[in-house]
Structures are given as C-alpha cells and as structure tokens.
Amino acid sequence: MYRLLIVDDEEIITDGLYEVFHQLLPESLDICKAYSAKEALNWLARTRIDIVLTDIRMPGMSGLELSEEIQKYWPRCKVIFLTGFSEFDYAYKAIQIPFARYILKTEGYDKVIAMVQEVIQELNHDIQMNQLVEQSRIQMDTLERMAQENYFRHILQNAFIETDTAKVLAHDFEELNIGLDPNDSIILVLGRLSYSSEAGFTERSKILASTRMIWNTFLGEQTRSIGIIDKLGDILWIIQPLISIDENFNQHLIRYLEGTLELVQDACQASLQSTISFTVSGTESAWEDISTQYERLRQLQQLKVGTGLSMILIDRSNETGIMKEGLNFAQKIEVMEAHLEGGKPADFFTEMDMLSNLLLQVQGNVQKVTEGYYSIALLLLAHINRLGLHGQIGDYGKLMRIDDHPSMKDGFIYLRGVAEAIFQHKNKDERDRASQVIEKICHFIENHLEDDLSLVRLAEIHYFNPSYLSRFFKQEYGSNLSEYIDKCRIRRAKELLKDADQKVRDVANAVGYEAAHSFTRFFKKATGMTPQEYRDSLIISEGY
C-alpha cells in the first residue's frame, strides 16, 4: 500500500482532494492531508510517504522548499506540484526537482487523478524484480561474502572478551573488506522469509539471494549494511547510516528503515511471491552488545498477531537483558525450540521425528537416548509452564517420568502427542489474541469518530506498523479499515440526525468532518440522500 500526502493551505482544496482519493483507491492508497508545510513535515517524520501532492506557493514554507525536505526524509518519494500560478519561474524550478511533476489547479480532478495513477504505476514498476535485478550490483564475490558471514556468525556466538573491541574489529574489517565502521554504533534487522511447503533447498537459496538484492536496491542509498544467514535460516542485517548522510537523518533512521522495509516486503511479494517479516532494533547499540541484541530480536520475532502477513516489529524498549542458551544437547533441540516458539508445527515435527528416529536407532547407548528424551521433555514442559497450560494438556505429568512408558518408542510417541496439544492451544490463543486486538481497534474507532482516524494515527496508538495494520485488519475482520470507519461514521451520523436541534455542521464535526460540504458529499454517496434529505425522510416516515 502506498501513502499519498495532500498539502494545501486552502482547506476546501485539501478536503476535496482527500475525499476524491479516499473513495477512489481505498485498496492501494492510504491518504493523509496537511494544511501547511509544517504539518506536512510532521507526517514525513511519522511515516513513509510515497507521493506528495502539494501546492507550490504556501505561507511560511513553499512547496518547493518542502520538496527539498521530502528528499531528506524519503528519497524515493514522488512530488506532484499543484498550483494556480503558471509563472515560468515557478514551473522551471519545479521541473528541476528529481521525481517531481507539475500540474495546474485549473486542469481539474480528472487530470490530478490521472497524474497520481501514473505515479502509482511508476512505483509499481520500480518494485518489479526485473528492474531490481538490473539496478542491483553484487558488492563482493562469493568467497569473500562467505568469509564475512562466517566471521559475523562467530561474533554472534562468542561475546567480545577483548579489552579494545574497536581495534580488533578495525583489523578484522580491513582483512575481510567489511565496509562497516568499528567505531560507530549499529542497528540490527532480523528478517524471516516464508516459503511454500514445496520449496526445496535450491529454490530457498534463490529466494534468499534475490531478497538480498532487493534489500541492497532499497537500502543502499542511505545506509551501509551486511547481511548474514543465521543458524535458523533467517537473515540478520547489521546496519549503519552512510557517512555522508546529514546528521538529522540519524535521528530519522528507525522511521526510514520502517518505511523502506515496507517497500522491501512489497518487492518480495511482487517479485518472489514470498512474504518476509522484519524485527528491528528500536535503538542503536554498541558492537559489544551485538550478541545480546541479536538474541532479543530472535525472541521478539515470535511476538506477532495474524498469520501469513508481512510483519514489521520495532523493538521500542531499551531492554538489553542477558539471555542464556541452556543445555546444549544438540543443534536440533535449539531449532525445535525456535519452531515451537514461532508456531510452526510442520517444521517442528519434521525436526522432532528426525531426532526421535535417530535416537531410537542408537538404543544401545541408553544414556544418549535418555538425554535426548529429557531434552525434548524439558523443552515442552518449559513451554507449558510459560504459557500456563496446566490442566489443558491432559496427562503431561509423565513428561519427566521416563519409566512410566512401556518402551522408548512409546515415550517419543507420548512426547509428540504433548507437542500436538501445545500447538492446538497456541493456535487458539493466537486467534483469540487477534480477535481481542480487532475488538480494541473497533472500540477505539467507534468512540473517537471526531478525531484523526488516519491509518498512520491508528497504527501509532495501537503500536502497529501502518501497512501491517491495514493487512491484519482486513484478514481478521473481512473488510478494509477505511470501509469500517466509513460505516461507523454513517451509523453515528444517522443517529445524530434524528435530533432536529442538531445542525448538520455539528453532526459533521462529530463524525470527523471539518467541513459540512465534505460531510454532505460523503453522506450522499453512502446513502443516496443528503443529510437534510435524510432528516426530512425521518420526519415524513414518523409523522412529525
């Protein structure tokens, strides 16, 4: 979903354009509006903006000056200048600005709509894989990249013990041709791709490689980064802003990442038919804390609502608690834990069955088989305790009593049954949690119809990413968020119009419309009658 920001100091123009686009492209365009350049800057700081439709001459900061600020926030944003002034100097200056277009107000709504649709097509084209592949350049050869990845995997698994971390890193970075600064702080982004059940190793490897190229295309303009495949097959990116970037951009970096990662998600979906979820460090961290921060992102990756959606989760807290690995029976136990936490039953049972079969083949080694059984049992028991599933799993008491099973094969079958029960409850809990979130959002909307109910604002209040909130609401509720808001406003307006003492403009304000004429157009489009006609029909039908 793209985001259009309409900026004009004439409210009637801003509101009119807002209504037109709000009704025209609800599926593909999230509409925001501002009545000054200063207000527009607030939007740019809050969320990614893809298209700005702005008056070229406004009090205070002009549209031309605003466009310069836009490029600092969102370099890929397209600008359309809308003005009633056709002087040559304004037009000439506008034409010189990258990604900008120029249109006169006198050309009417149809021309403006056509221009915006043209820009949307251009944005769609930019995220097609063939274009991305052409723009992408491979930064290092395969052997160099493998050496760099092995180096960072070593760092993630082994905390720094050197007294001079920066000096050690500087030496290693130079040897391995790593383009990061050992003296600067870093941001971590953990990406998890979804694959079809039929995708084999080769296909998954191709998708991973293509995802990296997409990343470099969108993030390479403002940041420097290196991506590695971690032990669970996820991609961890270590990021720093480019040295040449304006200092103000550093303060905007997290918002920039959040907005740009949405484009990466769109490109992965359009080009690879794959969804990717991101978990992002909310603050910069020192190199010494990279292992701790990485483990925190791994935990947060599991905290999601909705299924099959492209999530972007920002770590908003400053927690950096130390996380410990626990017993190291085998790598498969660690992988199983990740799948259990992530709610991936198919992957979990694949690993569990492989491990169980392997252990049953070496029954001569009683200690090894016993250790394997209790490693799985402890993993399941810890999950039951953490989720408070006591009494809901059935007879989980035999988890720690291996002698209660007639044979080791029966013991592993029992463990599988407990795991299946856990996944059933996790799925139910996730559905319940999603319903609670939807109910909370709907309740907020119904009680704040007079307030700002833009997608960006609702996302901020409920701690969502805007695009994710839009997809999640539609998946869980069955209709677009904007459609639900419109239905609530119509329902409330009808209730208020029953009161003959209520003026139409007061009703308009009560349901979020600052201008009565805008409310009238909205109401008539939804009901086929103007507010006054609706009120008159009530008088006739009820005989008063």
pLDDT tens digits, one per residue of 3-46: 999 999 998 889 889 888 888 877 778 999 999 999 999 999 88
Number of H helices, E strands in the chain: 21, 10
Measuring CA to CA, which residue among 41, 44, 21 is closest to residue 119? 21
- Determine the Cα–Cα distance for residues 411 and 76; give it in Å rounded to an integer: 58
Q: What is the 3-state secondary structure (H, E, C) of 198-231?
A: CCCHHHHHHHHHHHHHHHHHHHCCCEEEEEEECC
Measuring CA to CA, which residue among 375, 295, 368 is closest to residue 333? 375
For 31, list phi and psi in degrees, rounded to 5: -105, 130
Mean pLDDT by 10 residues, the chain (544 residues): 91 89 81 93 91 90 88 88 67 62 84 90 74 51 78 77 74 89 92 85 89 90 89 89 68 86 91 90 88 80 58 68 40 83 85 84 65 89 82 76 81 91 78 80 93 89 84 86 93 92 92 90 92 87 61
What top-level class would CATH report for the domain 448-542?
A: mainly alpha
Fold of 2-126: Rossmann fold (3.40.50)
pLDDT tens digits, one per residue of 432-481: 777 888 889 999 999 999 998 998 999 888 778 888 888 888 888 888 99
pTM of the model as a whole? 0.60
Say whether 326 sits in a helix, a strand or coil: coil
Pick the CATH number of 133-315 from 3.30.70.1520, 3.90.1330.10, 3.20.20.70, 3.30.70.270: 3.30.70.270
Measuring CA to CA, which residue among 316, 279, 260, 299 is closest to residue 467? 260
Domain extent listing, the chain:
2-126, 133-315, 331-429, 448-542
Determine what percent of the chain falls in helix, strand and coil, rounding each to the nearest 5.
60, 10, 30
- Determine the Cα–Cα distance for residues 319 and 482; give it in Å rounded to an integer: 35
